[in-house]
């Protein structure tokens, strides 16, 4: 069962230029470390500075996906996996958790109140495309791709 948003399913994804995956604890600390690690790898692989728009987008997207994995996709004692891929023209952030039955909605929902519910709206705003894939009965992966340039490459 697969659920995609904002994707062209007729084209296969190109082979990544670079790829790295790590597990983090399903805690706020784990989410913070994942966010820091993602932006560090982004700047190392792309040569773009920490204060560039794409780097800021990577920070925000990683923070939201990791936070959602902990809040909505975590079982007690289970970690989440962060996978980073440098693809031609874009940087892909994937967060895999242990709740495949809890899929994100097909469209980013309107905020339920003034203090929460904006995460997927932010991901949608900062990512070139994003979606969710379930490949087995035990995990789901929510991913987002940040464009390396703001000119739409």
Domain ranges of the chain: 2-147
Q: How confident is the model at residue 94 (pLDDT cuts 50, 70, 90)?
A: very high
| Strands of the sheet with 90-97, listed across from one edge | 2-4, 129-133, 140-147, 90-97, 80-87, 18-24
Q: Over the chain, what is the mean pLDDT?
A: 82
**Going by DSSP bridges, is the β-strand pair 140-147/18-24 parallel, antiparallel, or unpaired?**
unpaired
Tokens of 134: 């379930």
Q: How far apart are CA 34 and CA 97, in angstroms?
A: 13
Query: What mean pLDDT comes out for the span 10-36?
Result: 84
Q: What is the pLDDT of residue 59?
A: 96
Q: How far apart are CA 34 and CA 23, in angstroms?
A: 9
Q: How far apart are CA 82 and CA 35, in angstroms?
A: 9
Residue 40 confidence (pLDDT) above 60: yes
Residue 7 confidence (pLDDT) above 70: no
Residue 47 confidence (pLDDT) above 70: yes
pLDDT tens, 105-135? 666 555 555 555 567 788 888 999 999 999 8
Q: What is the pLDDT of residue 9?
A: 40
Query: What mean pLDDT comes out for the span 48-52?
Result: 95
Q: How far apart are CA 84 and CA 102, in angstroms?
A: 22
Q: How far apart are CA 90 and CA 149, in angstroms?
A: 8
CATH fold of 2-147, please? Heat Shock Protein 90 (3.30.565)
3-class DSSP state of 4: strand
Beta bridge partners of 146: 91
3-class DSSP state of 134: coil
């Amino acid at each position: 069962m697969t659920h995609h948003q904002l994707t062209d399913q007729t084209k296969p994804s190109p082979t990544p230029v670079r790829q790295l995956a790590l597990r983090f604890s399903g805690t706020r600390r784990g989410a913070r470390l994942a966010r820091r690690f993602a932006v560090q790898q982004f700047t190392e692989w792309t040569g773009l500075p920490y204060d560039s728009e794409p780097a800021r987008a990577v920070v925000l997207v990683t923070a939201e996906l990791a936070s959602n994995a902990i809040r909505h996709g975590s079982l007690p004692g289970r970690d989440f996996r962060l996978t980073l891929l440098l693809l031609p023209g874009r940087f892909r952030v994937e967060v895999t958790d242990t709740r495949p039955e809890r899929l994100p909605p097909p469209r980013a929902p309107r905020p339920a109140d003034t203090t929460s519910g904006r995460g997927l709206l932010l991901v949608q705003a900062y990512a070139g495309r994003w979606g969710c894939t379930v490949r087995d009965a035990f995990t789901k992966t929510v991913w987002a791709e940040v464009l390396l340039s703001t000119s739409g490459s």
